Amino acid sequence: MIISAHLGCLLLLATGLGLGAAIWALGLYLVRMLATTAIYHRLVTHGSYQAPRLVWWLGSIVAASAGQMGPSWWKSHHQQHHLHVDTAADPHTPLQPVGGWRGFWRSQLGWLLAPSFHPQHLPADVERDPVLRTIDRLHFLPVLALAGLSWQLGGLEWLAAFCLSTTLLFHGVASVNSVAHLVGEQPFCTGDASRNNRWVALVTLGEGWHNLHHGFQGSVRQGFTVENGQVRLLPDPTYRFICLLQACGWASRLRIPSHHALLARAS
């Protein structure tokens, strides 16, 4: 799917990108990035808040439409990342078994071409839900449906815009695995290479505050840092989106670390 999206970007050479198609690409990027960060990552994987099953199901369909695979696949690999962070058993660290540009390539895309692409163990809680299990196995259908809708709405140009949006989203999410383990600040003691990187936070709507995330995996808000002995808030659009869900009654019991806990982990 992702390789097809990359190749589909070549269509832009023939079609160009008009304003309508560009807005379509941007809208798809924002909505599907939020589904990936707020649903796949902060809800399904880390349980940093609670939500009705409908939010799990709809959010997972939207995240799957970004070519991010299914909820069981996503959670399984991400759990392995946290469990074995920056060791040889981490599925996508840029530091092992080799660093440099080869390590960067592996963490950005190459790891998806390895035999470990298929996870050994699927998360039991996701697998117990028949709807989530079905979305996981049929994860390619939402991608194809959205590609078809783009084609219907605006022909080849909008299909190319869909491919561009999907490709940029893929590299945005992947930059958390690569760049946010290489470049940035480490305001918290986490014992790994995770970093807070503002550019990654910008393109991932708040996921680039990755050093905080490795220190406080269950925190629904990742936009925290510590400066001069004081906790400072950082922009976190995904957290704002989850607050919006809460205001609508679709999210509850948001988990936030206390300032005392944040300061205790400060480096």
Site of interaction with Zn ion (CB under 5 A): 194
Which lies closer to Zn ion via its Cβ, residue 28 or residue 234?
Answer: 234
Q: What would the DSSP string read from start to end of 110-150?
A: GGGGSGGGS-SS--HHHHHSHHHHHHHHTTHHHHHHHHHHH
Smallest distance from Zn ion to CB 49, Å: 14
Smallest distance from Zn ion to CB 129, Å: 20
Smallest distance from Zn ion to CB 90, Å: 8
| Helix (H), strand (E) at residue 243 | helix 237-247
Which lies closer to Zn ion via its Cβ, residue 167 or residue 194?
Answer: 194
Which lies closer to Zn ion via its Cβ, residue 160 or residue 221?
Answer: 221
Smallest distance from Zn ion to CB 152, Å: 36
Q: How far apart are CA 164 and CA 172, in angstroms?
A: 12
Smallest distance from Zn ion to CB 210, Å: 5
Q: Pick from 7, 20, 2: which is nearest to 73 by CA? A: 2
Which lies closer to Zn ion via its Cβ, residue 5 or residue 44?
Answer: 44
Helix, strand, coil: what percent of the chain each, to 5?
A: 60, 5, 35
Which lies closer to Zn ion via its Cβ, residue 37 or residue 165?
Answer: 37
Instruction: Give SS3 for 225.
Output: strand
SS (H, E, C) 144-212: HHHHHHHHHHHHHHHHHHHHHHHHHHHHHHHHHHCHHHCCCECCECCCCCCCECHHHHHHCCCCCEHHH
Smallest distance from Zn ion to CB 78, Å: 5
Which lies closer to Zn ion via its Cβ, residue 194 or residue 219?
Answer: 194
Smallest distance from Zn ion to CB 50, Å: 17
Q: How far apart are CA 162 and CA 72, in angstroms?
A: 25
Q: How far apart are CA 95 and CA 178, in angstroms?
A: 9
Which lies closer to Zn ion via its Cβ, residue 75 or residue 139?
Answer: 75
User: Residues 88, 103: contact at Cβ < 8 Å?
Assistant: no
User: Residues 25, 165: contact at Cβ < 8 Å?
Assistant: yes
